[in-house]
């Protein structure tokens, strides 16, 4: 999951380069606002001034920036006060830990915090930015010591569940009740555990099949496959045409695990998969049938030479260089393919996306997805102000800012229009209609279970296991939890 | 000690000496206790709990973590891989280094250059070595291409992707990285042997092999034994390079004990189980080291380490 976060940041950075020029012109107000806030933000982030922000600090900050930008701050204040009605009270500090160490994410988050402070002068948002790995280590240490930040980065799933079980998180089910309908339910569900809400997402993507339109055409395939049988037939055609039909990564394991998850989901349905995760019994029909489909796929020898030792970067390079026709991957795929390709531009307009095909006879919905993203978890001591700020982050204007800066795909409903990248729009279309969202299985479960699932499934793709063995291995690992 | 105060100055002086020694040893001792011994004890403590690092440490499971380890196929593979590397190192790597050292101990033009070239791989960090070889060993990359160009296309393998080949690949790379180090070590040992001894043996009618077998080799013994010791301990700790190249895969085929420990403790957040693995590795290395010192290195370190236990 670190990997995915890093990729997301790369995505944001790479995309920003292409976008800023054109977007800046259309959206002058936003960039101006961001700029203004950023200069104030830098000033306020000083350790001495973060503790007790007063009017005088604000004045100084304002004096430091040109008049033109003061107008920007005023606009933010206006927007912010229009959106929230929380009045002034005694001074409160909200601690927020996030892991966006680079721009644009860093400054967007700072500007959201500053806008909130402007609207609620008594509330200070104290941001702590940590690098991903440092964040995990520091959070674990602080949690053990009982110092839980009010708001902090979370991916939901198994790690969040462990934090909730340890009593470190606040049950915010009733606090979000009034506004939870503004957020994609599938995405929100990832931050719920045992029926209680512990966090809120600000980014949510979905895994699908990225494919090379030109290679499909050469192989005589006119349209992306809608069913798994078509998919297998297309794999055969691609193989005959002389390309690698499907790239996977045996060393990193998780890319093919997602393919297997989709098969389980399509065959058994979301309820069955949930049941498997919760009951810790994976010896089910859905599991063995999914494995049998992988065996069918294996029989076509669809993967690249030496895939057993390949990394995700190897996989992305094959697709990016037009050597492999497909990969099952998340929304970050286009950027990584480009970065890992020899030309550094990937396959450009030849790249397409389709949702994972349905399996004939399966009870799963074609619209169910596998995905994941980023969110904010709420610590056990969080104040009402912290929760109000969480709501503020999830407001349409801030969600739009996240989309526009390409930091993530906001799960706030009605903000889809601010995503402009053609590839991401495809993913978004899939996600918007998603009936259920299954979090990446290696994140939905505990880290140890995640490893067990990855290792069991890659053995199947390597041809060194069989469907029943996979289900048993995962069940055994679950029993040891 | 029941020394009376009115003893000779010798006792007072040795007491003063002891005080000085203690004083100078103290900083190092404190650091050693704090950062070596204390964590070892701590790991042993954690190892009898089921603990994810977050919850309170209250789920006591006794020796269950150790049981899990010895029942785990992945860990069994890891132990046998570590042993395999030890055996191969002793059987191939050290003799290879020794023969190179003997060769480079003779006078010939370019000797210094060869010594340098052979030593260079050792200077690279394991992580960098791992990255470089990963690239070289990709399918259709330099190694495969070179073999094919040389008409040896039949030898091409999935170097890092084949479960049956991957440990051999690892061993070759480990040898490539460390033979220079052992070579330099042995070379230094060879240079400490007076030439006259060998010359005398040759004059007395010994053959080259006899001179080597009965003069050079015994005199090189101390160096050789240290070299073997370092090679064994290094094989037990094998981690960085394998982690970078395969992560212990495919399908745990290149798993090592240290990788198992890292995966359990850091990646899977099974701090208790990870600690149990750490304790097993520690005991493994400790027993091996003590046994080696007691029975093999004894002659070399007589008086330094063996004096205490006789």
* Cβ proximity of A190 and A166 under 8 Å: no
Interface A-B, measured as beta-carbon pairs within 8 A, has a size of: 77
Q: Return the closest-CA partner of residue A254 out of A193, A330, A355, A347.
A: A330
Asked if A304's CB is within 8 angstroms of B139's CB, the reply is: yes
For position B296, what pLDDT does the model report?
A: 86
Task: Write the residue in B55, B138, B249 that is nearest to A250 by C-beta.
Answer: B249
The Cα-based distances of A223 to A211, A212, A266, A425, A426 in angstroms read 11, 12, 20, 19, 15
Task: Write the residue in B52, B264, B267 that is nearest to A162 by C-beta.
Answer: B52
A229 exposed, middle or buried (CB, 10 Å; 0-12, 13-18, 19+)?
middle
Instruction: Find the length of chain A.
Output: 481
Q: What is the CATH number of the domain that holds A237?
A: 3.40.190.10
Task: Write the residue in A143, A309, A455 that is nearest to B54 by C-beta.
Answer: A143
Domains of chain A: total? 2
Beta carbons within 10 angstroms of residue A83's beta carbon: 16
Contacts A310 to B, Cβ<8 Å: 161
DSSP state of A226: S
Q: B102-124 pLDDT, tens per residue?
A: 999 988 899 999 999 999 999 99
Asked if A447's CB is within 8 angstroms of B267's CB, the reply is: yes
A202 assigned to some structural domain: no
Report d(CA A418, CA A400) in Å as an integer.
6
Q: How far is the first Cα of chain B from the last one, in angstroms, to the nearest whole number?
A: 23
Instruction: Give the gap in angstroms from C-alpha A126 to the nearest C-alpha of chain B.
Output: 24
**Rg of chain A's alpha carbons, rounded to an integer?**
23
Helix axes B217-236, B271-295, angle to 10 degrees: 170
Report d(CA A380, CA A306) in Å as an integer.
48
A329 assigned to some structural domain: yes
For position A14, what pLDDT does the model report?
A: 42
Task: Write the residue in B54, B163, B267 that is nearest to A140 by C-beta.
Answer: B54
For position A423, what pLDDT does the model report?
A: 84
Instruction: Give the gap in angstroms from C-alpha B280 to the nearest C-alpha of chain A.
Output: 20
Q: Residue A71 belongs to what domain range?
A: 2-196+375-428
Report d(CA B88, CA B93) in Å as an integer.
7
pLDDT in tens, chain A (481 residues): 444 444 444 444 444 333 333 333 333 333 333 333 333 333 323 333 233 333 333 333 334 444 444 444 444 444 444 444 444 568 889 899 998 877 788 888 898 999 989 888 888 889 998 887 788 878 888 887 888 999 999 999 888 998 898 889 999 998 888 888 888 888 888 899 988 999 999 999 999 999 999 999 999 999 999 999 999 999 999 999 999 999 999 999 999 999 999 999 999 999 999 999 989 999 999 999 999 999 999 999 999 999 999 999 999 999 999 999 999 999 889 888 998 999 999 998 999 999 999 999 999 999 999 999 999 999 999 888 889 998 998 888 888 888 888 788 888 888 888 888 888 888 998 888 888 889 999 889 988 999 999 999 999 999 999 999 999 999 999 988 7
For position A45, what pLDDT does the model report?
A: 30
Angle at B242 between CA A6 and CA A159, to 5 degrees: 40
Tokens in use for B259? 């990788």
Residue in B with minimal Cα distance to A167:
B55
User: Touching check for B202 and chain A: CB below 8 Å?
Assistant: no
Distance from CA of residue A82 to its chain's centroid? 30
User: Touching check for A248 and chain B: CB below 8 Å?
Assistant: no
Residue in A with minimal Cα distance to B248:
A251
Contacts A166 to B, Cβ<8 Å: 54-55
Phi and psi at residue B92, to the nearest 5°: -120, -50
Is the same domain home to A171 and A227?
no
Is the same domain home to A107 and A23?
yes
Asked if B250's CB is within 8 angstroms of A250's CB, the reply is: yes
Instruction: Find the length of chain B.
Output: 310
pLDDT in tens, chain B (310 residues): 444 455 566 788 888 899 999 999 999 999 999 999 999 999 999 999 999 887 788 899 999 999 999 999 999 999 999 999 999 999 999 999 999 999 999 888 999 999 999 999 999 999 999 999 999 999 889 999 999 999 988 889 899 999 999 999 999 999 999 999 999 999 999 999 998 998 899 899 888 899 999 999 999 999 999 999 999 999 999 999 999 999 998 999 999 999 999 999 888 889 999 999 999 999 999 999 999 988 888 777 665 554 444 3
Q: Return the closest-CA partner of residue B198 out of B218, B216, B180, B224.
A: B216
Is the same domain home to A387 and A423?
yes
Is the same domain home to A127 and A240?
no
Instruction: Give the gap in angstroms from C-alpha A281 to the nearest C-alpha of chain B.
Output: 20
Asked if A140's CB is within 8 angstroms of B250's CB, the reply is: no
Is the same domain home to A150 and A46?
yes
Using the structure block, give the residue that is written with the tokens 């064994």: B232
Task: Write the residue in A162, A309, A459 that is nearest to B160 by C-beta.
Answer: A309
Residue in B with minimal Cα distance to A463:
B251
Q: A172-190 pLDDT, tens per residue?
A: 998 888 888 888 888 888 8
User: Touching check for B161 and chain A: CB below 8 Å?
Assistant: yes
Q: Return the closest-CA partner of residue A113 out of A76, A85, A78.
A: A76
Residue in B with minimal Cα distance to A465:
B251
Asked if B161's CB is within 8 angstroms of A308's CB, the reply is: yes
* Cβ proximity of A266 and A356 under 8 Å: yes
Tokens in use for B217? 């080799």
Using the structure block, give the residue that is written with the tokens 């512990």: A198
Residues 6+ positions from A304 with CB-CB distance below 8 Å: A244, A247, A248, A310, A314, A315, A318, A323, A324, B139
Tokens in use for A401? 């800012």
- Work out whether the CA dihedral A131, A133, A139, A141 comes out positive or negative: negative
Task: Write the residue in B55, B139, B267 that is nearest to A451 by C-beta.
Answer: B267
For position A89, what pLDDT does the model report?
A: 67
* Cβ proximity of A294 and A213 under 8 Å: no
B140 exposed, middle or buried (CB, 10 Å; 0-12, 13-18, 19+)?
exposed
Domain boundaries, chain B: 78-295
Report d(CA A209, CA A353) in Å as an integer.
6
Is the same domain home to A292 and A161?
no
Q: B271-285 pLDDT, tens per residue?
A: 999 999 999 999 999
Instruction: Give the gap in angstroms from C-alpha B121 to the nearest C-alpha of chain A.
Output: 24
Q: Return the closest-CA partner of residue A211 out of A79, A376, A81, A326.
A: A326
Q: Return the closest-CA partner of residue A369 out of A315, A328, A423.
A: A328
Is the same domain home to A249 and A138?
no
User: Touching check for B247 and chain A: CB below 8 Å?
Assistant: yes
3-state secondary structure of A287: helix
Mutation target for A interface from B269, B271, B274, B277: give the one with most A CBs within 10 A.
B269
3-state SS, A290-358, equals HHHHHHHHHHCCCCCCCHHHCCHHHHHHHHHCCCEEEEEECCCHHHHHHHHCCCCCCCHHHEEEECCCE
Q: List, as ranges, residues 407-466 from A with C-beta within 8 Å of B.
A: 446-448, 450-451, 455, 458-459, 462, 464
Report d(CA B212, CA B207) in Å as an integer.
9
A462 assigned to some structural domain: yes
Q: List, as ranges, residues 50-79 from B with C-beta within 8 Å of A.
A: 52-55, 68
Instruction: Give the gap in angstroms from C-alpha B245 to the nearest C-alpha of chain A.
Output: 9
* Cβ proximity of A4 and A10 under 8 Å: no
* Cβ proximity of A364 and A285 under 8 Å: no
A336 assigned to some structural domain: yes
Q: Which residues pair with B28 in a beta bridge?
A: none
* Cβ proximity of A279 and A299 under 8 Å: no
Contacts B251 to A, Cβ<8 Å: 308, 455, 458-459, 462, 464
- β-pairing, A208-212 vs A324-329, is antiparallel
Q: Return the closest-CA partner of residue A80 out of A147, A125, A42.
A: A125
For position B302, what pLDDT does the model report?
A: 65
For position A470, what pLDDT does the model report?
A: 97
Is the same domain home to A179 and A319?
no
Asked if A448's CB is within 8 angstroms of B270's CB, the reply is: yes
DSSP state of A102: S
**Rg of chain B's alpha carbons, rounded to an integer?**
25
Q: Identify the CATH assignment for B78-295 out of 1.10.3720.10, 2.60.120.260, 3.40.50.300, 1.10.490.10.
A: 1.10.3720.10
Asked if B251's CB is within 8 angstroms of A455's CB, the reply is: yes
The Cα-based distances of A367 to A99, A231, A413, A426 in angstroms read 31, 17, 17, 14
For position B12, what pLDDT does the model report?
A: 83
DSSP result, A107-148: HHHHHHHHHHHHH-TTEEEEEEE--HHHHHHHHHHHHHTT--
φ/ψ bin of A208: left (φ > 0), alpha (ψ from -120 to 50), beta (otherwise):
beta
Report d(CA A185, CA A436) in Å as an integer.
8
Instruction: Give the gap in angstroms from C-alpha A214 to the nearest C-alpha of chain B.
Output: 24
Beta carbons within 10 angstroms of residue A339's beta carbon: 18
User: Touching check for B252 and chain A: CB below 8 Å?
Assistant: yes
DSSP result, A153-182: EE--HHHHHHHHHTT-B---HHHHTTTGGG
Asked if A308's CB is within 8 angstroms of B158's CB, the reply is: yes
Asked if A305's CB is within 8 angstroms of B267's CB, the reply is: no
* Cβ proximity of A388 and A113 under 8 Å: no
DSSP result, B78-144: HHHHHHHHHHHIIIIIHHHHHHHHHHHTS--TTHHHHHHHHHHHHHS-HHHHHHHHHHHTSTTSHHH
* Cβ proximity of A212 and A322 under 8 Å: yes
Is the same domain home to A268 and A191?
no
DSSP result, A56-91: HHHHHHHHHS-HHHHHHHHHHHHHHHHH------S-
Q: Return the closest-CA partner of residue B261 out of B100, B72, B60.
A: B72
Tokens in use for A152? 């902090």
The answer, yes or no, to whether the previous bond of A243 is cis (omega within 30 of 0) is no
Asked if B52's CB is within 8 angstroms of A446's CB, the reply is: yes
ipTM over 0.95: no
Instruction: Give the gap in angstroms from C-alpha A368 to the nearest C-alpha of chain B.
Output: 28
* Cβ proximity of A355 and A208 under 8 Å: yes
Q: Return the closest-CA partner of residue A146 out of A124, A165, A168, A127.
A: A168
Beta carbons within 10 angstroms of residue B190's beta carbon: 17
Distance from CA of residue B219 to its chain's centroid? 23
* Cβ proximity of B158 and B139 under 8 Å: yes
Residue in B with minimal Cα distance to A143:
B54
A81 assigned to some structural domain: yes
Q: Return the closest-CA partner of residue A196 out of A177, A212, A224.
A: A177
φ/ψ bin of A99: left (φ > 0), alpha (ψ from -120 to 50), beta (otherwise):
alpha
Report d(CA A351, CA A212) in Å as an integer.
5
φ/ψ bin of B205: left (φ > 0), alpha (ψ from -120 to 50), beta (otherwise):
left
Mutation target for B interface from A306, A455, A470: give the one with most B CBs within 10 A.
A306
Is the same domain home to A362 and A249?
yes
* Cβ proximity of B134 and A252 under 8 Å: no
């Amino acid at each position: 999951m670190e990997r995915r976060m890093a990729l997301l940041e790369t995505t944001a950075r790479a995309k920003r380069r292409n976008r800023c020029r054109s977007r800046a012109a259309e959206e002058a107000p936003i960039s101006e606002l961001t700029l203004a806030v950023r200069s104030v933000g830098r000033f306020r982030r000083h350790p001495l001034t973060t503790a007790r922000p007063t009017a005088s600090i604000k004045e100084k900050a304002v004096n430091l920036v040109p008049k033109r930008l003061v107008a920007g701050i005023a606009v933010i204040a206006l927007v912010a006060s229009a959106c929230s009605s929380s009045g002034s009270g005694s001074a409160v500090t909200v601690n927020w830990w996030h892991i966006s160490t680079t721009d644009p994410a860093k400054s967007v988050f700072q500007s959201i915090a500053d806008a909130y402070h402007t609207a609620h002068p008594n509330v200070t948002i104290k941001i702590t930015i940590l690098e991903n790995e440092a964040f995990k280590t520091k959070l674990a240490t602080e949690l053990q010591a009982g110092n839980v930040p009010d708001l902090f980065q979370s991916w939901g799933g198994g790690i969040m569940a462990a934090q909730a079980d340890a009593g470190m998180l606040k049950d915010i089910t009733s606090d979000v009740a009034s506004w939870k309908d503004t957020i994609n339910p599938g995405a929100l569900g990832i931050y719920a555990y045992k029926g209680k809400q512990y966090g809120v997402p600000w980014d949510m993507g979905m895994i699908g099949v990225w494919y090379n339109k030109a290679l499909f055409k050469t192989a005589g395939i006119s349209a992306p496959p809608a069913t798994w049988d078509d998919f297998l037939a297309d794999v055969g055609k691609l193989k005959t045409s002389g390309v690698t039909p499907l790239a996977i990564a045996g060393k990193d394991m998780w890319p093919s695990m997602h393919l297997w998850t989709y098969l389980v989901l399509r065959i058994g349905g979301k309820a069955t998969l949930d049941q498997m995760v919760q009951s810790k019994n994976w010896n089910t029909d859905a599991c063995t049938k999914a494995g049998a489909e992988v065996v069918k796929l294996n029989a076509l020898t669809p993967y690249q030479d030496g895939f057993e030792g390949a990394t995700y970067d190897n996989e992305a390079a094959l697709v990016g260089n037009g050597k492999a026709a497909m990969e099952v991957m998340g929304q970050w795929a286009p950027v990584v393919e480009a970065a890992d390709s020899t030309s550094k531009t990937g396959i450009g307009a030849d790249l397409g996306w389709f949702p994972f095909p349905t399996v004939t006879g399966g009870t799963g919905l074609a619209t169910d997805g596998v995905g994941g993203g980023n969110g904010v978890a709420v610590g056990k001591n969080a104040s009402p102000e912290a929760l109000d700020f969480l709501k503020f982050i999830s407001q349409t204007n801030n969600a739009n800012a996240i989309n526009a800066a390409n930091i993530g795909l906001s799960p706030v409903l009605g903000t889809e229009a601010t995503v402009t990248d053609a590839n991401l729009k495809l993913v978004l279309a899939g996600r918007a209609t998603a009936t259920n969202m299954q979090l990446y299985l290696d994140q939905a479960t505990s880290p140890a279970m995640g490893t067990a699932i990855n290792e069991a499934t890659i053995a199947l793709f390597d041809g060194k296991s069989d469907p029943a063995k996979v289900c048993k291995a995962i069940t055994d690992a679950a029993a040891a939890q | 000690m029941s020394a009376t105060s009115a003893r000779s100055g010798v006792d007072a002086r040795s007491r003063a000496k002891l005080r000085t020694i203690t004083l100078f040893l103290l900083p190092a001792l404190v650091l050693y206790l704090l950062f070596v011994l204390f964590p070892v004890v701590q790991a042993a403590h954690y190892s009898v709990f089921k603990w994810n690092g977050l919850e309170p440490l209250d789920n006591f499971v006794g020796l269950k973590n150790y049981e899990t380890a010895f029942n785990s196929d992945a860990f069994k593979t890891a132990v046998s891989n570590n042993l395999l590397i030890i055996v191969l190192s002793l059987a191939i790597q050290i003799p290879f280094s020794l023969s190179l050292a003997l060769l480079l101990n003779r006078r010939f033009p370019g000797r210094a250059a060869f010594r340098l070239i052979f030593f260079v791989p050792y200077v690279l960090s394991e992580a960098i070595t791992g990255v470089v070889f990963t690239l070289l060993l990709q399918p259709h990359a330099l190694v495969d291409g070179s073999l094919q160009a040389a008409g040896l296309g039949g030898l091409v393998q999935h170097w890092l992707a084949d479960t049956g080949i991957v440990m051999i690949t690892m061993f070759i790379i480990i040898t490539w990285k460390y033979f220079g180090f052992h070579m330099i070590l042995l070379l230094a040992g060879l240079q400490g042997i007076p030439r006259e001894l060998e010359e005398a043996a040759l004059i007395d009618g010994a053959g080259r092999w006899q001179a080597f077998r009965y003069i050079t080799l015994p005199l090189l013994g101390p160096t050789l034994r240290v070299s073997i010791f370092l090679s064994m301990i290094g094989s037990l700790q094998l981690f960085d390079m394998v982690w970078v190249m395969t992560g212990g895969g495919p399908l745990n085929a290149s798993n090592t004990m240290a990788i198992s420990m890292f995966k359990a403790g850091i990646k899977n957040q099974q701090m208790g189980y990870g600690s149990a693995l750490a304790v097993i590795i520690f005991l493994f290395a400790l027993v091996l080291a003590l046994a080696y010192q007691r029975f093999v290195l004894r002659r070399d370190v007589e008086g330094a380490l063996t004096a205490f236990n006789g």
